[in-house]
Amino acid sequence: MTERIVVAMGGGGFTMEPDNPLLDDHILDLARATRGRQRPRICFIPTASGDSPAYIAEFYAAFARRSEADHLALFNRTVEDIEGLLRHQDVIYVGGGTTVNMLALWRLHGVDRALRRAWKSGVVMAGLSAGSVCWFEAGTTDAFGAGLEVLSGGLGLLPGSHAPHYDGDATRRGHFRRLIAEGVLPAGYAADDGAALIFHDTELAEVVTSRPDARGYRVWRGSAGDAVETVLPARYLG
C-alpha cells in the first residue's frame, strides 16, 4: 500500500529557522525513504503569502542545492496542469501566511483536489503555520484581522483540529483549549514552533523537533466540559 505522510510544523523550517535546517532535512529524508530519490523533487506553494517573491527566493536558497526544487504560483499563474505538476513531486511544502485566503484560492484553481490526489499517491505533504493547519478539518487562524478566530473548511486530509505556534503567541494556547472545551472545535493537535507532527495515513506516528524544548500536544474535551491537554513524546533531531 502507498504510504501517505503529512508533516505539520507548528513553526520552523527555512522560514523561521534559517540557520537550523533540522526539520527541513527530516522532510527530505522522509521523501528519500519513501520515494527512493536521493535528490527529491520538492514543490513550494507560497499562496498564503500572496506568492511573495522574497519568500520564494528563500525557498530556493534553502533547497535548490539538495533537491530538484520548483514552486507553484497562483497570483501570476503559469502552470496549466497543476495536478500533473504536484503528482510529479516527492514533497509538497506549503508556506505560512493567510490561511483563509489560501484555501479560497486553492479551491478556485483546483489545488485542493490536486493536493488530495498527490497525497493519496504518496507525495509527502509538509508545511508550517498556514501550511500546517490546512491539512486538518479545522483550526485557529489570525487571518480575519481581529485576533484569533475559528478556521473551518480545511482540506480534511487529517481528522480533527490544529493549532500551530502554540508557544509562539501567548493567546494561542488558551484560545485553542477554550474552543475545544466549548465544543466549537473537535479534538486535535497543537505544535510549538520548532515541532513537527508526522502523520502516516491519518494516525500520528511521531513528533520531531528542531529545539530540545519544543513539544507537540493532544487536546480534547474532557467529561467535565473542560479541555484536557497532554504533552506528546518528542524526538529532538539535533
Positions annotated as catalytic residues are 129, 165
Distance CA 122, CA 183 (A): 33
* Burial of residue 223, with CB atoms counted within 10 A of its CB: 0-12 exposed, 13-18 middle, 19 or more buried: exposed
Instruction: Describe the crossing of helices 99-109 and 111-120 by its angle, rounded to 10 degrees.
Output: 90
Contacts for 51-57: CB closer than 8 Å, 24+ residues apart? 51/75, 51/76, 52/97, 55/15, 55/95
Q: What is the CA radius of gyration of the chain?
A: 17
Q: Return the residue matching grid coordinates 480533527.
A: 160
Distance CA 223, CA 208 (A): 30
- Write phi, then psi, for 46 (nearest 5 degrees): -100, 25
Distance CA 62, CA 59 (A): 5
48 φψ region: left (φ > 0), alpha (ψ -120 to 50), beta (else): alpha
Distance CA 182, CA 82 (A): 39
C-alpha cell at 230: 497532554
